[in-house]
Amino acid sequence: MRITMRMMANQYSKSLNNSLSQLNSASSKATNYRKFNKTSDDPFSASQAYRLRRESAENDTYQSNIGNIEDQLSTAQSAMMSIHDIVSQASTGDTIQAITGTMQQSDRATIATKLRALQQAILAPANTKFGDKYLFGGSDMNEPAFSIGSDGTSLLYRGIDVNTGKIEAGSTTTINGALIQFGKNSGVPNGYTLQIADSGAVGSTPQASLSGSTITLTLDLSTAKTNQDVGNALKNMSSADNTTGFDFSKLTVTGDLNCPVTAATASDPTYDTLTPDQLKSLSKEQSLVDLGMGLKLNADGSINTQSVFDAAIPGISFLGFGTADGTGSGISNNIYTLLGQIADQLESSDFSIDKIKPYLDNFTKQGENLMAKITESGTKSNFLSTTKASLETMGTAIIDKDQNVEYVDPADAIMDYQMQQAAYNAALQMGTKIMSKTFLDFMT
């Protein structure tokens, strides 16, 4: 093939440019140690890198979730232990064990006083706070879980009497994702429903009327759009607009306050007492946390509880609820109430060992129940620490893999750069040798 100087010059300049571009890429690798700077440089590794980064971020979230839950759980356990200490104290030789059939009135009074003091001591750990969260309120961690009712003696869990299931705030119903409690003296009977209707007139004042067992609230739905607005409308209604005969001034609305209301919205029937089954479901309330165990859904779309961690500790699950015989006035299953009932028995004028024995037996039984719950919580802590360790190992492994995919070994990168530089310098030196003399230089 015929070769001309121009062809040689072109080829040389192309090869030099190639060498320079390789030098450029080697120098950029030697500065940021990345294997690739854009997806198109290496699409396969890039897709791996995206996935690994995502997994690493998820792992970080799980680790931080575990960190929070672990601390909460250990605080909860020490609170439960201190309640158990109180129970043990109540069962010792100079209190419950000292009860015999032949005690004197004054001895009984002493023991009763001690028991009532111990009873009071239970409340503080039962409302333990971690940071600004109350630990034993189930899913509601903003309010103290336990309180004393207006009669001064009954224990309320989230506003519900733990023995009778009676709701302190009176008539209650759920509507559109919110909980409406009409207030203690509202006068609303059970089984009534609240119905929302659109007045159709912009700016009209809300009106409440009664027909049969349906309370109808008519309001302007173009301005009053959410559950919060409904609650405010009822609460602030003047007596002229309220023809139902009920008092709504103490009404409270909680829950999904920003849910929009439509004209067809109607509430469930009102109630003011929980059945024992409903109390039981309160005690089994769950608060689910994703710890990377493979969050899954069931076929009906609900969360598969095996794939997440339940971090809720409803107070009544370890303090006990309801009564032994199911009636409102029977022997309580709740440790706090039991202590009070035992003290009442001791102080009553017709004290007999036979009458007090079922209370004492139930007290022992509930004490064992508390211990069982504490053990269960300990098992959960163990599980958390194993999970945490394995998450940490996995997290490190993911980061290592990501480093391997995205970064080069610094030693390799620098050596590569030196080699490219030497190659480039050699190519530069060849230039003058190639493009030197032609025939014309030798013509005389």
Q: Using CB under 8 A, which residues numbered 65 to 124 contact another protein?
A: 65, 68-69
State which of residues 12, 58, 250, 374 lies at the interface with another protein (CB under 8 A): 58
Told to check if 433 binds another protein by CB under 8 A, we report no
CB of 356 to another protein, least distance (A): 32
Q: Which of 100, 150, 245, 439 binds another protein (CB under 8 A)?
A: 439
Considering only 39, 222, 327, 393, the residue that binds another protein (CB under 8 A) is: 39
DSSP tally for the chain: helices H, then strands E: 9, 13
Pick one of 7, 415, 419, 434: the residue that binds another protein (CB under 8 A).
Answer: 7
CA 185 to chain centre: 34
Query: Is 218 or 228 the residue whose CB approaches another protein more closely?
Result: 228
Minimum Å gap between C-beta 7 and another protein is 5
12 binds another protein (CB under 8 A): no
For residues 385 and 251, give the distance between their C-alpha atoms in angstroms, rounded to a whole number: 45
**Position 428 contacts another protein (CB under 8 A):** no
Residue 294 to residue 417: CA distance in whole angstroms:
45
The answer to whether residues 246 and 173 touch, using CB atoms and an 8 Å cutoff, is no
Judged by CB under 8 A, the chain residues 259 through 288 that form the site for another protein are 259-260, 262, 271, 274, 278, 281-282, 285-288
**319, 334 contact by CB (below 8 A):** yes
Q: Which is nearer to another protein, 43 or 200 (CB)?
A: 43
Residue from 124, 201, 295, 397 in contact with another protein (CB under 8 A) = 295
Pair of tokens at residue 436: 């030197």
Residues 22, 28, 51, 63: which binds another protein (CB under 8 A)? Answer: 51
Among 17, 24, 31, 60, which residue interacts with another protein (rule: CB under 8 A)? 60
Q: Which two tokens stand for residue 283?
A: 């005690």
Axis crossing angle, helix 43-91 with helix 105-126, rounded to the nearest 10:
170
**Residues 180, 198 contacting (CB under 8 angstroms):** no
- Judged by beta carbon, residue 204 or residue 286, the one nearer another protein is 286
Q: Which of 125, 138, 206, 320 binds another protein (CB under 8 A)?
A: 138
Report, in Å, the least distance between residue 162 CB and another protein.
Answer: 12
Give the start-end residues of each E strand in 17-134: 129-130, 133-134
Residue that has been written with the tokens 């390789």 in this structure: 22
- Please, which residue, 202 or 443, has the CB nearer to another protein? 443
CB 158 → another protein: shortest distance, Å? 5
Cα(100)–Cα(119) distance, integer angstroms: 21
d(CA 71, CA 73): 5
Residues 6+ apart with CB under 8 A from 254: 178, 179, 181
**Could you tell me which residues come within 8 angstroms of residue 441 by beta carbon, excluding any fewer than 6 positions away?**
none
Rounded (5°) CA angle 317-322-327: 170
> CA gyration radius for the chain?
38
What is the contact mask toward another protein in residues 364 to 403, using x (rule: CB under 8 A)? ----------------------------------------
User: For residue 272, which amino acid is it?
Assistant: D
Applying CB under 8 A, the site for another protein has a residue count of 82
The binder of another protein chosen from 22, 74, 91, 140 (CB under 8 A)? 140
Q: Considering the rule CB under 8 A, would residue 20 count as an interface residue with another protein? A: no
Binding residue for another protein, selected from 102, 142, 429, 436, defined by CB under 8 A: 142
Residues 144-203 that bind another protein (CB under 8 A): 158-160, 165, 167, 172, 174, 176-179
**Which residue, 83 or 160, has its beta carbon nearer to another protein?**
160
Q: How far is the CB of 398 from another protein (least distance, A)?
A: 14
Of 34-42, 98-106, 329-337, 353-361, the segment contacting another protein by CB under 8 A is 34-42
Residue 311 binds another protein (CB under 8 A) = yes
Quickly list DSSP for 344-376. HHHHSTT--HHHHHHHHHHHHHHHHHHHHHHHH
When asked if residue 296 is in the footprint of another protein (CB under 8 A), the reply is yes
Place of tokens 């504490």: 374
Of residues 331-350, which lie at the interface with another protein (CB under 8 A)? none
Q: Angle, to 10 degrees, between the axis of helix 410-434 and the axis of helix 5-32? A: 160
| Contact between residue 82 and residue 136 where contact means Cβ atoms under 8 Å apart | no
